[in-house]
Amino acid sequence: MLNKTRPGLASVMIRKTRRGLAAVVLLTFLAQISLFFIGIMDPYTRARSLWGKSLEQRRGIVCGVGMTLKQIADQFPIDSKIYLIHPQAFVHMNAVYSFYPRTLSVTMSNRRYNTDQEYAAWDEVPSWQWLQTNGFSYVLSFQNGGRRWDVRPGLVLE
């Protein structure tokens, strides 16, 4: 009777192996949880760098380009149409957002600008007649420190 209920060597070995594997799984899981401080460091360092600062200072810390573009955009009337010449991918993407609801365009022909090659091939310098006809009031360039022009008869852009 006793011999029948006693587990065999094989089943004891299987049970011990399963327990050993279970211990490994549980330990690695515990290790993953105990690394929580690595995850929390990302928001913590972010919060520490931003705490006690004004909104614009914080914007400058987390997105310097965004702050600069917002300051430039605020100089233009809210309903203005602005033509951006010599666009670069990163600045263009951020500028369209920062300038909205002002219209910021880089194309005369509704051409696609998405890849670096497409931006590198940009050659759409408008004439003052085209700008006036299409309702643009300003021209902007972020090259060489940045420059703006009011659209007026005789304006020549390079």
Q: Which residues bind other proteins (CB under 8 A)?
A: 18-19, 21-26, 28-29, 31-33, 35-36, 38-44, 46-47, 50-51, 55, 58-59, 62-63, 66, 89-90, 92-94, 96-97, 100-101, 105-107, 110-115, 118
Q: 43 vs 153, which CB is nearer to other proteins? A: 43
Smallest separation, CB 106 to other proteins (Å) = 5
Smallest separation, CB 62 to other proteins (Å) = 4
Q: Of 85, 92, 86, whose CA–CA distance to 69 is shortest?
A: 92
DSSP annotation string for 11-54: HHHHHHHHHHHHHHHHHHHHHHHHTHHHHHHHHHHHHHHHTT--
Q: 100 vs 148, which CB is nearer to other proteins? A: 100
In the chain the beta strands, taken as DSSP E runs, fall at 81-85, 103-105, 138-141, 147-150
